[in-house]
Amino acid sequence: MADNQVGEDTLALWTDRWHQDWDENRHGRGQVKKFLVDHIEKMTEGRTGLRFLVPCCGQSIEMKWLADQGHEVVGIEGVEKACENFYKNENLKYDVSGIQGISEGKLYKGESCKVQIYNTDIFKLNENILGQFDAIFDRGAFVIVNFEDRPRYAALMKSVAKPKCKILLAVQEYDWKERTIKGPPRPAFRNDVEELYGKWCTIKELERSDRLKNRNPEKFKNSWGTGLTSHWSVQYLLQVM
């Protein structure tokens, strides 16, 4: 599949897109994702002090929520403004340093909150830099990266996942050919998940919802275009075997 656009979704392009959405007030803080709250026990099994990874985290309020549950949270985000906004929105003091092992990027660390964010291209990171995790909250990273980058994204997740690591994976199902305004989130179906995760994870569908029934038509048209005849949000629970 291709985006039908010139060039690739580089970090610079994604940053420009994020700032455009910011200017158009599309980055509202909102509430903690209901599916995370509903399924957190399946991920933690009642344990605290787990190490959570949140790839392509943006200014996700879920990071603070997870930290408040007693976990250590590591985010990855390419847009500097989003990293700064997270700490400012939560009224958290933070320090900024370089990232050991790579020449580009910054590491944000909360002073009183166990949330740190790597501000860099996700594909510049590796297990040696990030360490390993008990749980991964993928709130949309898998469907943000280019189709052709999904194999190395999944490989990165595999490399940083501890044995028995739980992955809460959110995807969207729709016909890419029907979408008139191309861009993320890109569609992912069960077979896509199985192809990249099935050899090293068990896969269980938790829930799905019909997005066509619960959308703002004008907002949807501006960011997606017209033409979709089916559009589902789907959440999976994966566990490393």
**167, 131, 139, 204: which is closest to 44 by C-alpha?**
167
CA–CA gap between residue 42 and residue 105 (Å, rounded): 34
CATH architecture of 32-240: 3-Layer(aba) Sandwich (3.40)
Asked if 93 and 99 count as a contact pair (C-beta separation under 8 A), the reply is no
CA–CA gap between residue 198 and residue 191 (Å, rounded): 9
Looking at residue 219, its pLDDT comes to: 79
* Residue-wise pLDDT tens digits, 135-153: 999 999 999 999 999 999 9
Instruction: Please list the alpha-helical segments (H only) found in the chain.
Output: 11-23, 34-44, 62-68, 80-89, 127-130, 141-144, 150-160, 190-197, 217-224
Asked if 160 and 127 count as a contact pair (C-beta separation under 8 A), the reply is yes
Looking at residue 27, its pLDDT comes to: 47
What would the two tokens of residue 99 be? 């990232």
The whole-number average pLDDT for the span 155-181 is 97
DSSP three-state, residue 217: helix
Q: Domain ranges for the chain, please list them.
A: 32-240
Looking at residue 218, its pLDDT comes to: 81
Would the pLDDT of 241 be above 70?
Answer: yes
Query: Would you mind telling me the total number of residues written for the chain in this entry?
Result: 241
